[in-house]
Amino acid sequence: MRAKAFIAAALAASLLSISAPARAGEDYGIGRPATSEEIAGWNIDVAPDGAGLPPGQGSVAQGAQIFADKCAACHGDHGQGKPMDALAGGAGTIATPKPVKTVGSYWPYATTLYDFIHRAMPFNAPQSLSPDEVYAVSAYVLFLNHLVPADAILDAKTLPKVAMPNRDAFVSAFTPAPGKAP
């Protein structure tokens, strides 16, 4: 008798829990915590303040060699473009009727160059360059735009400090709603 009552009660309880509706904002218990190793492998973004830049360094001279080997075929020997985007030139043209947009003339942050080359270039083998190689080839592209000297060596400290001429022209068209975010 007792056992029967117990089973009935357990059954009722389990039925209750089965039918309890999940509420909005509730923890559904779906997914699992991401490990720091998993996050580290994919956490490749670089912010304008340099957050996310890895240890390592590269010089303009090293970058010239990498560029000749891995970039020039698509972007031109001196980054002048053809067949793909020009990476150098166009200085002072942005506010004219015929703007020539390049890394040097248009881009507001040097950190974007590191982020983009590492994630997406060379086009045929993205994410294949080591941090040293990305620093070096970034330095070379900036050198082609006369934004760093021929003997420049870039790393996580110096890259975010490279002054980009068109930086102050950028204005955000997005106005966040006032008050606390949702």
Partner 1 sequence: MVRRYTNKSASRREILTGAASLAGAALAASTAEAETPTSNLPPGVPEWQQQPGAEVMSPPYGQPSPFEAGVIRRERTGGSPYPTRQAAVSLTPLQDLHGIITPNGLHYERHHGGVPAIDPAQHRLIIHGLVDRPMIFTMADILRFPATSRLHFLECSGNTQNWGKPDAALTVQDTHGLLSCCEWTGVPLKTVLDAVGVRDEARWMLAEGADSAAMTRSIPIEKAFDDALLAYAQNGERLRPEQGYPLRLLLPGYEGNTSVKWLRRLKLGEAPWQTREETSKYSWIMPDGSVRQFNFVMEAKSVITSPSGGQKLAEPGFHEISGVAWSGHGKVTRVEVSTDGGGAWSDAALQEPVLPKCLTRFRLPWRWPGGPALLSSRATDETGAVQPSREALLKQRDARSYYHYNAIQNWQVAADGAVTNAG
Interface residues toward partner 1, by CB under 8 A? 22, 24-28, 30-35, 38-39, 42-48, 83-84, 94-95, 97, 99, 101, 103, 106-109, 111-112, 115-116, 119-120, 123, 126-127, 166, 169-174, 176-177, 180-182
According to CB under 6 A, which residues from 50 to 89 bind ligand HEC? 70-71, 73-75, 84-85, 87
- SS3 string, 152-166, reads CEEECCCHHHCCCCC
CA distance 80 to 83: 10
- Segment contacting ligand HEC (CB under 6 A): 3-11, 40-48, 122-130, 168-176? 122-130
Cβ burial, residue 100 (10 Å; 0-12/13-18/19+): middle
Out of partner 1, ligand HEC, none, which partner does residue 75 contact, by CB within 5 to 8 A per kind?
ligand HEC
Closer Cβ to partner 1, 1 or 174, answer by number: 174
Joined tokens for residue 19: 């039918």
According to CB under 6 A, which residues from 139 to 158 bind ligand HEC? 141
CA distance 162 to 145: 12
Joined tokens for residue 104: 């040097």
CA distance 155 to 134: 10
Q: Which of 64, 110, 137, 147 binds ligand HEC (CB under 6 A)?
A: 137
3-state class (DSSP) for residue 57: strand
- Contact set with ligand HEC (CB under 6 A): 70-71, 73-75, 84-85, 87, 103, 113, 116-117, 121-124, 137, 141
